[in-house]
């Protein structure tokens, strides 16, 4: 359970840092690239290496990790934009409602059993994250709906890939190396994007933006590392773990948005927060 709690804390801090970017005038793109190289460095330095760098391409998880890096860099930019335009709570729900996809995969692909209490808790969790992040005026433009929709789909794909890699290709002792490779791939693809995007240049890599990336990169690495560790602990199905992880992140990041950034919550939002607590208890303790 400690790995799950640490993953929740790390992931919640990501949304807070994204929101802080706009307050401290940190530009998303260069900070996100710096974040990925920071996460790569943390992964390589913080854990004993069981492989040399020259051996990485021979690992079965190497090519999938490179592909996952592309998804990461795209989704992280969308998450940052959503946090700044629509708020921390909306970004978190768009990301974490994607729990539907890995939950369904756990049931249909991995034959995981869910009892009636946990099924009810998962359904309640979906309702909870909807109410917790519904804007006060309930009005989004089409373009504003597109941002969270893309984050939802991309985050679900990331969760599916992580579960698949954890199950079939990545040994426990290689979790940090796999995670570091994903981040290195994302950072390198981000650098290549500088040459392709007209509104981005290397002059944007200022000390302020680089520092913002360092602050973001540390919790970013550990959010993936601790999630992989939690998925490897016996006792809870991946469906239950993803539900607990995602709903708790919505709950915690929403409360952080209220406390730190004075984001306003309506009565419906608070109702959703309460339902989130109930759903977490049902999934965590139910059968």
CB atoms within 10 A of CB 262: 7
Map residue 203 onto helix, strand or coil.
helix
What pLDDT is stored for residue 132 in this prediction? Answer: 67
Q: Where are the alpha helices (DSSP H) in the chain?
A: 2-23, 28-46, 62-86, 88-96, 100-108, 116-133, 142-168, 175-196, 207-231, 238-261, 267-285
Are 265 and 258 spatial neighbours (Cβ–Cβ below 8 Å)? yes
- Give the position of tokens 């801090």: 13
Provide the residue-wise pLDDT of the chain in tens; the chain has 287 residues: 789 899 999 988 988 898 888 889 899 889 989 999 999 999 888 777 667 778 888 899 999 999 999 998 888 778 878 877 777 667 766 776 676 777 777 777 777 777 788 788 778 877 876 776 666 655 556 666 778 788 888 888 888 888 888 888 888 888 888 888 999 999 999 898 888 877 778 888 999 999 999 999 999 999 988 988 888 877 777 777 877 887 788 778 778 878 888 877 778 878 877 887 787 777 766 66
**How many domains are there within the chain?**
1
What pLDDT is stored for residue 243 in this prediction? Answer: 77
Q: Which domain holds residue 36?
A: 2-285
What pLDDT is stored for residue 33 in this prediction? Answer: 92
16 closest CA partner among 193, 215, 239: 215
Map residue 276 onto helix, strand or coil.
helix
| 194 contacts: CB under 8 Å, gap ≥ 6 | 200, 201, 202
């Amino acid at each position: 359970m400690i790995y799950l709690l640490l993953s929740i804390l790390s992931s919640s801090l990501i949304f807070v840092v994204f929101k802080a970017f706009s307050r401290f005038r940190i530009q998303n793109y260069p900070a996100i690239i710096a974040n990925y190289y920071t996460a790569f460095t943390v992964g390589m330095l913080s854990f004993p290496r069981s492989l040399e760098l020259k051996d990485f391409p021979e690992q079965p998880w190497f090519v999938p990790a490179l592909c996952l890096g592309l998804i990461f860099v795209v989704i992280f930019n969308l998450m940052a934009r959503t946090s700044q335009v629509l708020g921390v709570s909306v970004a978190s729900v768009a990301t974490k409602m994607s729990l539907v996809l890995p939950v369904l995969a756990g049931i249909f692909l991995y034959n995981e059993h869910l009892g009636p209490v946990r099924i009810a808790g998962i359904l309640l969790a979906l309702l909870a994250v909807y109410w917790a992040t519904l804007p006060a005026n309930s009005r989004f433009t089409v373009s504003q709906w597109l941002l969270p929709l893309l984050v939802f789909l991309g985050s679900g794909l990331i969760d599916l890939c992580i579960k698949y890699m954890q199950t079939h290709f990545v040994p426990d002792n290689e979790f940090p190396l796999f995670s570091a490779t994903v981040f290195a791939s994302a950072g390198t693809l981000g650098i290549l994007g500088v040459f392709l995007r007209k509104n981005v240049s290397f002059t944007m890599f200022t000390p302020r933006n680089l520092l913002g990336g360092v602050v973001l990169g540390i919790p970013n690495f550990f959010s993936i590392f601790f999630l992989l560790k939690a998925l490897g602990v016996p006792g809870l199905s991946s469906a239950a773990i993803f539900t607990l992880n995602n709903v708790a992140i919505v709950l915690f990041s929403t409360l952080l948005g209220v406390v730190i950034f004075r984001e306003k919550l309506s009565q419906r939002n608070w109702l959703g927060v309460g339902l989130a607590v109930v759903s977490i208890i049902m999934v965590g303790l139910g059968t």
